[in-house]
Chain A
Amino acid sequence: MASSNKHKSISYAKWGYIFILPFFIVYAAFQLYPMFSTIRDSFFSKMTVGLIEYPEKFVGLDNYTALFKEGDIFTYFGNTFIIWIIGFIPQIFISLLLAAWFTDIRLKLKAQGFFKVVIYLPNIIMAAAVSMLFFAIFSDIGPINDIYKSISGSDTPYQFFSHIASTRIIIAIINFIMWYGNTTILLMAAIMGVDPALYEAAEIDGATPSQTFWQITIPSIRPILIYVLVTSLIGGVQMYDIPQIITNGQGNPVRSSMTVVMFLNNQISVGKNYGKAGTISVVLFIVAAILSLAVAAFNSMDQIAENRAAKLKKKKLKGALKI
């Protein structure tokens, strides 16, 4: 009996695979397959206009050369980056400040849970809804213009969506409002991970709060800061729903609020130019992949530095033992 048991030991491993199978099936059907078909499309001339389908033709790298020759994609990458940076600077600044305040042991803020919920709330609302709201608020007959008119005494409204700067800033503000709560929570988690002994020691040594912030907090949370920066950048590259709704898909004025994904969407909105859309997708993928690899590289650089430090420590210890 005992010996046969040895041979027929029950393996539960297959259940593990069975349980994760649904994910991989869904992933393969809805992510992996479309991804490869998009890459394939980028090498083909393939389009449908209304009821007419044009024959598919292999064109090699023609789509790519045409895209870069046309050069518009650089403008749209530029637009995307500008809108992202206008939103990201206040976002990281406010988030750091809030995170520092919420975690400060000396401040002991009350009703923290309430504030955390409030600042996180905008992230829960659909971006499209927030955009519609802002569009109404800043419209020619909206409340902001009512205030502007009563302050300035002018009887013509300031047309926010007819100026390049104001349109971009409004989109950036929406991005900021939607994401600063998320960033705050991330940074708080990072700050709370810092060894409290460091803060205590600093306090005993008579460090001012700003000194503790710049000398202890910032260096300790550097990896998370980089993570926040890069994930935000990847999200920024894919910016779509807010400018799409604010400018009604046209990226107005003068296509200055046209982001890369809006440009991509334009290729398949009325006439379906799958070839060009696929090409833009692949370019976007490569950019985002480079950014992602940059995070990984940063993380491993930290790791390498740590390993080196640990080795150095060991050597010193060995040296000490020898003596």
Chain B
Amino acid sequence: MTKLKRVLCGTMCLAMAGSMLTACGDDSSSSGDAAVAPQEQKKEGSADSKNTIKIYVWNQEFQGLFRRYYPEYDAEKSGYDTAKHEKTGTGDDFLKDGKKVVWVVNENEGNNYQDKLDTALKAQSESDDKIDMFLIEADYALKYVNSQYTTPLADIGITDSDTAEMYDYTKQVATATDGSLRAVSWQATPGLFAYRRDIAKYVLGTDDPAEVQEKLKDWDSFDKVAEEMSAKGYKMLSGYDDSYRVFSNNVSKPWVDGDTIQIDDQLMKWVDQTKDYTDKGYNNKTSLWADAWNADQGPSGKVFGFFYSTWGINFTLAGNSLEVSEKKGGKKEVGNGLYGQYAVCEGPAAFFWGGTWLCCAAGSDNTDTVADIMKKMTCDKDIAKNLTLDTLDYTNNKSAMQEIADDASYGSEFLGGQNHVKLFAAAAPNIKMDKTTKYDQGLNEAFQAAFKDYFEGNADKDKALENFYKAAIEKYPNLKQA
């Protein structure tokens, strides 16, 4: 009996240990490097699928815009309150022609959205429940644009004249290697430097955007102002990653050449500047999206400014600037915290941050509807203009934006009456996206994380670089170190 017990004990322990081996693994056959031509479908969509628009998204942003601005959306049947602009019903969304809209929402965090989307797209050909449309972000746009899972938009009836008013960079990044446009965006995301008027007045003697811009026109001037800020007890930037995009958008070579990772001089400039700022106390040692970083943008913060793009200024910064947050019943109005106390200027270099594109999935059985959604949401001038006026988002329509920029009476309450669209309209044509790769998101994140150790003094530059390569190759095992 005791012997049996002993044997059992041993086996149980082994079984416990064995359970660790239960890693996931699927035996999908290999297909090698992806082709760009849209995939042939092995199976046709079911009748149900032909009546359903299935859209993959990672948050509610596009849902909200779609319900509010898409003219073919059946608000009544879907239970949408057109006065409050929110969905009160709990049922599905419907279009006026009776088709159903199904949203598949997967959180972006930790590559989750892409994992789920990839799995679904790989199964698309064999499935009778077709995905019709999916959304992608700038950082990994090329991964889908240069794949067999997106349909050239010309094939579904979106012409060059439809997209003529779009900013060039939004089309450039969405063009596959065969020259066909694969995705369109309703927004352009030029970045600006948003600074606090009160601190500017106190330290620099002026809060006028033109004069402040003159003092921040290049990195040397920017450094000088940082020194002045520090002398008066303020921080120039909040954290390590704040200026990252301003450098990384101005690189002279892409992250990856063939399968070799290459590090541009601009990125090392960011490293040196940030190390310098950290050692001299010009920043507050926070990290992007951390609680302390958000807090720095509010009334208790001592930080002069933040690099932000369109959506960041009107949504994130405006929300963080409040004394009483919206969650606690505060309102976005002048007098609540720093609302109305910020202003924007171009800053030392042009950059962009983020942006969302719409793709038509290869094999979609509702291409007409998808094309119509794209035309209305991204190519229609009136909708674009209203969208900007209502939501403060910056839309991808040059002439609509120019009209707002030229409107002297237009101004943002949050920015103390400044017409930010004017600055965005000036900055947007300068955006370049020709150095992007499909690896950008992972490599940017790995680079920022690895060099945080260097800024905090836990590692020297070489060690940080070594750790970056380790993390990079873990993420993309097909790449190699230079």
A interface vs B, CB < 8 Å? 30-31, 34-35, 37-39, 41, 47-56, 72, 136, 139-141, 156-157, 159, 162-164, 234, 238, 249-250, 252-256, 261, 264, 266-271, 273-274, 276-278, 281-282, 284-285, 288-289, 291-293, 295-296, 299-300, 303
Give the residues in chain B near A48, CB-CB below 8 Å.
Answer: 28
Within 8 A of A (CB), among B373-403: none
Q: Contact check, A250 vs B471: say whether CB atoms are below 8 A apart.
A: yes
Give the residues in chain A near B477, CB-CB below 8 Å.
Answer: 47, 49, 267, 271, 273, 276
Q: Contact check, B13 vs A159: say whether CB atoms are below 8 A apart.
A: no
- Given A264-B23, A270-B442, are A292 and B10 neighbors across the interface (CB < 8 Å)? yes
- Given A37-B25, A289-B14, A296-B6, are A269 and B110 neighbors across the interface (CB < 8 Å)? yes
B97 proximal to A (CB < 8 A): no
Chain A residue nearest in CB terms to B28: A53
Within 8 A of A (CB), among B430-482: 438, 442, 449, 452-453, 456, 458-459, 463, 467, 470-471, 474-478
CB distance from B31 to the nearest CB of A (A): 5
Interface of B: prevailing SS? helix
B195 proximal to A (CB < 8 A): no
Chain B residue nearest in CB terms to A284: B20
Q: Among B10, B25, B30, B121, which residue has the most Cβ atoms of chain A within 10 A?
A: B25
Number of B interface residues at 8 Å Cβ cutoff, please give it: 59
Q: Contact check, B453 vs A254: say whether CB atoms are below 8 A apart.
A: yes
Q: Contact check, B22 vs A140: say whether CB atoms are below 8 A apart.
A: no
B302-338 Cβ-contact flags toward A at 8 Å (1 or 0): 0000000000000000000000000000000000000
- Given A50-B118, A270-B111, A273-B477, are A162 and B10 neighbors across the interface (CB < 8 Å)? no
CB distance from A59 to the nearest CB of B (A): 13
Q: Contact check, B453 vs A289: say whether CB atoms are below 8 A apart.
A: no
Q: Contact check, B456 vs A50: say whether CB atoms are below 8 A apart.
A: no
Give the residues in chain B near A51, CB-CB below 8 Å.
Answer: 34, 118, 121-122, 143-144, 147, 149
- Given A162-B458, A250-B471, are A54 and B295 neighbors across the interface (CB < 8 Å)? no
With the chains together, A281 CA to B19 CA distance in Å?
10
B426 proximal to A (CB < 8 A): no
Q: Contact check, A54 vs B19: say whether CB atoms are below 8 A apart.
A: no
Q: Contact check, B478 vs A234: say whether CB atoms are below 8 A apart.
A: no
- Given A162-B456, A276-B477, are A31 and B17 neighbors across the interface (CB < 8 Å)? no
B4 proximal to A (CB < 8 A): no
B290 proximal to A (CB < 8 A): yes
- Given A159-B456, A269-B111, are A234 and B22 neighbors across the interface (CB < 8 Å)? no
B32 proximal to A (CB < 8 A): yes
CB distance from B442 to the nearest CB of A (A): 5
Contacting A234 at CB < 8 Å: which of B17, B29, B143, B459?
B17
Q: Contact check, B6 vs A281: say whether CB atoms are below 8 A apart.
A: no
Q: Contact check, A50 vs B23: say whether CB atoms are below 8 A apart.
A: no
Give the residues in chain B near A295, CB-CB below 8 Å.
Answer: 9-10, 13
Q: Contact check, B20 vs A254: say whether CB atoms are below 8 A apart.
A: no
- Given A51-B121, A253-B456, A292-B16, are A281 and B34 neighbors across the interface (CB < 8 Å)? no
B266 proximal to A (CB < 8 A): no
B258 proximal to A (CB < 8 A): no
- Given A49-B477, A51-B118, A295-B13, are A281 and B20 neighbors across the interface (CB < 8 Å)? yes
Contacting B476 at CB < 8 Å: which of A49, A254, A291?
A49
Q: Contact check, A296 vs B23: say whether CB atoms are below 8 A apart.
A: no
B37 proximal to A (CB < 8 A): no
Give the residues in chain B near A55, CB-CB below 8 Å.
Answer: 30, 32
- Given A31-B22, A51-B118, A139-B292, are A289 and B32 neighbors across the interface (CB < 8 Å)? no
- Given A34-B21, A292-B14, A300-B6, are A271 and B458 neighbors across the interface (CB < 8 Å)? no
Q: Contact check, A35 vs B21: say whether CB atoms are below 8 A apart.
A: yes
Q: Among A52, A157, A269, A303, which residue has the most Cβ atoms of chain B within 10 A?
A: A52
CB distance from A77 to the nearest CB of B (A): 14
Q: Among B30, B33, B143, B295, which residue has the most Cβ atoms of chain A within 10 A?
A: B30
CB distance from A204 to the nearest CB of B (A): 33
Closest 9 CB pairs of A and B: A292-B13, A288-B17, A270-B475, A273-B477, A140-B292, A55-B30, A296-B10, A253-B458, A266-B474
